[in-house]
Copies of this chain bind each other. A is one copy, B any other.
């Protein structure tokens, strides 16, 4: 089975399309796919997704980091979004046949390459964090680029002081996040809030589930982030919402998988819903096309 990782690098440029495209296009090396380029003028920030084998994805994102280092000057950067460098944050995410440990190793390999070849200090975050206080991205970003100049502590890789134009970079590994919403056949937002509270991990519900109740287009919606679908997949989230909704006498209108989803999540949902114990992603015909 092919090892597949995802990488979603964020860069501090959201206005200049020439620069944005140069960074995005640099990632388009052989054997990887880059897609879903997003940019925002107010945040002055862009991001995209790369998928492929671990080694290819590392080489792809490094090309983009090189270009961003060349083209973005953080001394001239203004934007609403907190940021610490030209390349701001680079998470690696296991997608298929890859362990979290392999993604952590990959993030360290990239960090070393960035430090040595580009002379940029690197902080490791999330599962790759080497210090507890660096686990959370928001904590590293506090003070942002300007603050960094003053409070810069010893980074995990690279020079002790920030790069004169590119600042610093945060690199790490994290689990795949599935955005999943369930819409109820009611406008009563309190019911959605109630259900969200019952099912989310914070309040004693399902593992690795974050949930909030909203009103969207006149419907009460339970909006969920499934931060570890191996613990709680969307089928279990749906069933949990349905169980509470049934008790409250409310029907489910529909549900919504938002954005991209790994094949393994679908396979897992099929396995458990239809007791198809032996089913595996290798049986999916299209998978042959990238093996």
- Interface stretch (choices A65-73, A126-134, A252-260): A252-260
Please tell me which one of the listed residues B257, B267, B270, B274 contacts residue A279 in the complex, with CB atoms under 8 A apart: B257
Within the complex, what minimum Cβ distance (angstroms) separates A261 from chain B?
A: 6
Known pairs A260-B283, A266-B284, A283-B261; A289 contacts B4 (CB<8 A): yes
Q: What chain B residues lie within 8 Å of A273 (beta carbons)?
A: 235, 269, 273
Chain B residues within an 8 Å CB radius of A275:
252-255
The CA-CA distance from A42 to B289 in the complex, in Å, is: 32
Beyond A235-B274, A275-B252, whether A286 also contacts B263 by CB under 8 A is yes
The residue in A252, A262, A275, A277 that gathers the most chain B C-beta atoms within 10 A of its C-beta is A275
Chain B residues positioned under 8 Å from A96 (CB to CB): 286
Determine if A6 is an interface residue (Cβ-Cβ < 8 Å): yes
In Å, the complex CA distance between A267 and B285 comes to 13
A234 within 8 Å of B (CB atoms): yes
Residues of B within 8 A of A89 (CB): none
Given contacts A274-B238, A275-B252, contact A290 B286 (CB under 8 A): yes
- Residues A285 and B263 in contact, CB atoms below 8 Å apart: yes
- The residue in chain B whose Cβ has the minimal distance to the Cβ of A96 is B286
Alpha-carbon distance A266/B263, docked complex (angstroms) = 10
A291: Cβ under 8 A from any B Cβ: yes
List chain B residues, Cβ under 8 A from A6.
285
**Contact (Cβ within 8 A) B267 A284:** no
Output the nearest chain B residue to A95 by Cβ-Cβ distance.
Answer: B285
Instruction: Name the one of B234, B235, B267 contacting A266, with C-beta atoms under 8 angstroms.
Output: B267
Assuming A51-B285, A289-B33, A290-B289, is B256 touching A278 (CB within 8 A)?
A: yes
A54: shortest Cβ distance to chain B, in Å? Answer: 14
* Cβ proximity bits A213-238 to B, threshold 8 Å, 1 near / 0 not: 00000000000000000000011001
CB contacts (< 8 Å) of A286 on chain B: these are 4, 51, 95-96, 262-263, 286-287, 290
In the bound complex, CA of A193 to CA of B36 (Å): 50
A138 close to chain B: CB less than 8 A: no
Contact A276 to B260, CB < 8 A, known contacts A33-B289, A286-B290: no
Report whether B260 and A277 are in contact in the complex, using a CB–CB cutoff of 8 Å: no
Seed contacts A256-B276, A262-B285, A286-B287; 19 additional CB < 8 Å A-B pairs: A4-B285, A6-B285, A33-B289, A51-B285, A51-B286, A95-B286, A234-B274, A238-B274, A253-B275, A254-B275, A255-B274, A260-B283, A261-B284, A262-B284, A263-B263, A263-B285, A266-B284, A269-B270, A290-B290
